[in-house]
Amino acid sequence: MARLFSWAIVLFAVFLYFDICHLVAGLKVSACFKDKKDSLNATCPSNYMVRILRSFYGHSSRGSCSYEANDCIQEDEQNYPCMGREFCLVNIPTSKTGQRKGNCSFNYFQVEYQCVNRSEVRKICTTKQLTDPSGYISSDRYPNNVQGPITCQLNIRVEPHRKIQLYILDMDLKGERNKNCTDYLDLNLGINTITICNRSVNEKSFPTSKNELNLTLKVASRGKRKGLWLYYEAIPPLKVTESPTVKNYQQHYQSDPKPQVNNSAIFVAATAGVIGTLLFILITFLIFLVFKIQVSILFNQ
């Protein structure tokens, strides 16, 4: 009997591990244009945030409604107001329906996303320094509107022989007035400073040449914009055997509507249906186990 309980605990841990891995590694939702669906639902569990990795049009010669190896695709360019929430409804654009890329006619649309644990996101106004090799950063009330006026500073420092790569996952800051950003994010790279404002479309990456980066968020407006969500990582990443240790020129930058597709951030997609199947198998096994225990008790009486 004790052995059965031990196996039940082991199996539960295994299924839970795969469940979490699917959430972290990536999920996908897709649909064929012929199905005439209006939207796709990117959904995460409670206390997780939707991070949309990419969206694209695709052509499947086999008639599949999701990406397969060697499909020809075209990246989509759009802003997702639902980024950072537990539930994200992505409208399926129809402007590319039937359009061709070379010999391919697009017949499906796909969105790939991750579920990020909200507890892993550090607030830029309440965190002074980060020394982890990677991490998420957001404005204080994200994904709800940021409340100004505020000025916040955050220092990121990684191993001396590594460089910091910063990704803007989502940004919605008030734009220019008289050629100056009223709300903005400053990236102080040591030798130069980049000022970013307005709204970001798709992920953008900012490689640096140093192991230290200073961020300054300044918001003058009052609760009218969403704020920002960032991710950084040390390049090159840590090896398995390693463990982490604890203004001359200014460049003005407006968020460009042309995205820089970050293929390195795209993980192997796994459907939510797999998670459901694993949970179903686990529940079925536990029911069978309880039934077997009850039968054993009856026979032993």
98 pLDDT tier (thresholds 50, 70, 90): low
**pLDDT in the model for residue 192:** 85
**pLDDT in the model for residue 296:** 64
Q: What is the CATH number of domain 124-235?
A: 2.60.120.290
**pLDDT in the model for residue 174:** 79
Ranges for all domains in the chain classified under CATH 2.60.120.740: 24-118
**pLDDT in the model for residue 132:** 97
Pick from 4, 9, 42, 41: which is nearest to 23 by CA? 42
Give residue-wise pLDDT tens across range 4-60. 444 444 344 334 333 444 444 579 999 999 888 999 999 999 999 999 999 999 999
176 pLDDT tier (thresholds 50, 70, 90): low
Q: Is the pLDDT of residue 146 over 80?
A: yes
- Mean pLDDT score across all residues of the chain: 76
Ranges for all domains in the chain classified under CATH 2.60.120.290: 124-235
From the candidate CATH numbers 3.40.50.920, 2.60.120.740, 3.40.50.2000, 1.10.600.10, the one assigned to the domain spanning 24-118:
2.60.120.740
186 pLDDT tier (thresholds 50, 70, 90): very high
Q: What is the pTM for the complete model shown?
A: 0.70
Higher pLDDT, 159 or 3: 159
DSSP-assigned beta bridge partners for residue 52: 113
293 pLDDT tier (thresholds 50, 70, 90): low
3-state secondary structure of 276: helix
Contact assessment for residue 88 and residue 50, using Cβ atoms and an 8 Å cutoff = yes
Contact assessment for residue 167 and residue 232, using Cβ atoms and an 8 Å cutoff = yes
Ranges 38-52, 95-109, 127-141, 211-225: which has the least confidence = 95-109
283 pLDDT tier (thresholds 50, 70, 90): low
Give the integer Cα–Cα distance in Å for 155 and 146: 20
Higher pLDDT, 201 or 155: 155
pLDDT > 90: percent of the chain: 43
Give residue-wise pLDDT tens across range 199-229. 876 678 888 989 999 999 999 887 778 999 9
Give the integer Cα–Cα distance in Å for 275 and 28: 12
